[in-house]
Structure 1
Amino acid sequence: MIGEIHRFDTVTSTQEAARLLISEGRAKAGDVVLADSQTAGRGRFGREWRSPIGGLYATFLLEDGTLLPLSAGVAVALALERFGLKPGLKWPNDIVIDKKKLGGIIVEKVGDIAVVGIGINLSTAPLKGSTCALEHGVMIDRDTLLEAIRAELEAEREEGEVLASYLSRSVTIGLRISVKRGNLPPLFGIARGIDEEGRLLVETGLGIVPISSGDCFHLLSRGG
């Protein structure tokens, strides 16, 4: 479902701009909100995402789906691979290269529309511990990448294919991790897989615990 691209020079965030456009009846599923920069870009859990000119900052309006957070990660990875990059996926939806964050994805809902925000560092790495495509010798035109991501998001994939594609690019599976879940105590264990609902399966001393959402931290040693 290819729709309109709503282009802006600067917004607080493309997520907020998308919400406003939907509420005003000016945007629908299939549309994209694109900005040159964001003054208050944010990631998951409200974290700051610095957004200077030179990156990709877009929100895609999609029909909702069970594995959408994972399929969005797969779509972004496949799009970046077209340009010669080899990104990994850190659960649930960080895009990384060599353990540094290249980009991120945030999935929210407005009514029955999934609002999927995607930020990719192309020419600068504004946050500590981040990286950009240019640091890896790859110059990417923003609008060309936008269309590549859009095409991958529109591609029809069976749930099994999504899971297999995600797992083959996962940098989380097999690692010792901790997962912060709201006000609950952190969960420590080994990431063993992802189930058919997209939940991370964490092996703990009490058995396998499925995690549907949370903040995942990679610890130093690998699991046994």
Structure 2
Amino acid sequence: MTLTFPMPAEPESAPLVRLERIGMLLAGSDPQGQQRIDVEAVAETGSTNVDLMQRLSSLQRPLLLVADRQTAGRGRAGRPWRAAPEDSLTFSLAWRLQRPMHALLGLPLAVGVALAEALEVFGIRPQLKWPNDVLRDGAKLAGILIETAADGRQGDGTWAVIGIGLNLAVPPGLEDELQRAVGAAPELQKAPRETVLAIIASALAGVLEEFEARGFGAFVKRWEAFHAYAGQAVKIVENGRVLQEGTAVGVDMMGRFLMDTEGGQVEILAGDVSLRLQDA
């Protein structure tokens, strides 16, 4: 008789982030010394946004979910986001706003302000590309994906799940053209991940509270301070077709993109459109 023994399961790898350390840092940055954001970390998942969207009905507090690797991460318009743990930071924050869903116009831009201001702490000078990209020297440093769901438990509240993918290094093996299009922040590799995440999460918390109270109008000047294309010739493209051409001006109090055209100033509402420089 042959005896067989089950092979021991390989232990799951521990995430790179230390939760206790993040918790201490978040509490230390709060005026009341409290950790207002719960934090979870996993070594790998499909998508942190999807994970949090599926858990909204059970959440009582803001939750930051960090993943070393996302196998089904998504960017704007469902585009895939792929990144290795050592090359990136990928995470999502679930936050409940006391605003109905239709009152969240401009939220992606406000989140961009929070991320840009947090990066400045590390000596990085980012730029913001409407509506939801963070650039460095014209190359994409980070992307923002926000998904929302009405909270039927309490009035007109809305849960926002804010997904962020931040490049720490340019992945090896990219074609030259794509390599030039990817920005990176190697400065962040020198800092503990917990410190970087805590500073970003604290900045997000402050911006979300201000957005809830005042809307995007409070962030227009702060967004324009990082405006990547201010005064430059740009075009608005949808499905390969140029919709508008003109000069980038800024944004209005609703978060619409303003550009001067031959027919006068126009406002572009975020949708399935792409903003590009005219020579791109």
TM-score band, normalised by the shorter chain?
A: 0.7 to 0.9
Q: Name the residue aligned to 2:144.
A: 105
Secondary structure of the residue aligned to 2:219 is helix
Superposed CA offset, 1:52-102 (max 9, x none): 112111111123444311110011011111111111111112111111111
> What is the root-mean-square deviation in Å for CA atoms of aligned residues?
2.4
Work out which of the two has the higher radius of gyration on C-alpha atoms and give 1 or 2: 2
The answer to whether the 8 Å contact 1:11/1:35 transfers is yes
TM-score by length of 1: 0.87
Secondary structure of the residue aligned to 1:15 is helix
Of 103, 107, 123, which residue of structure 2 is paired with 1:84?
Answer: 123
Counterparts in 2 of 1:125-136, with a 5 A limit?
Answer: 125=171, 128=178, 129-134=181-186
Q: Name the residue aligned to 2:202.
A: 151
1:6 aligns with 2:40: yes
Measure, in 1, the Cα distance between the counterparts of 2:237 and 2:60. 34
Q: Name the residue aligned to 1:216.
A: 275
The answer to whether the 8 Å contact 2:106/2:256 transfers is no
Counterparts in 2 of 1:110-125, with a 5 A limit?
Answer: 110-111=149-150, 112-125=158-171
Change over 3 Å in CA distance of 1:110–1:28 after alignment to 2: farther
Of 44, 64, 67, which residue of structure 2 is paired with 1:32?
Answer: 64
TM-score by length of 2: 0.70
Superposed CA offset, 1:117-173 (max 9, x none): 111011344662102111x68623322111111111121545444111110111122
The answer to whether the 8 Å contact 1:178/1:189 transfers is yes
Stretches of structure 1 that go unaligned for 5 or more consecutive residues are: none
Q: Name the residue aligned to 2:13.
A: none
Measure, in 1, the Cα distance between the counterparts of 2:122 and 2:267. 34
Structure 1 residue 108 displacement after superposition:
1.5
Structure 1 residue 185 displacement after superposition:
5.1
Change over 3 Å in CA distance of 1:51–1:110 after alignment to 2: farther
Q: How many aligned residue pairs are there?
A: 218
The answer to whether the 8 Å contact 1:96/1:102 transfers is yes
Measure, in 1, the Cα distance between the counterparts of 2:134 and 2:191. 16
1:169 aligns with 2:220: no
1:198 aligns with 2:255: yes
Measure, in 2, the Cα distance between the counterparts of 1:211 and 1:74. 19
Structure 1 residue 209 displacement after superposition:
1.7
Measure, in 1, the Cα distance between the counterparts of 2:123 and 2:65. 26
**% identical equivalent positions:** 33
1:19 aligns with 2:53: yes
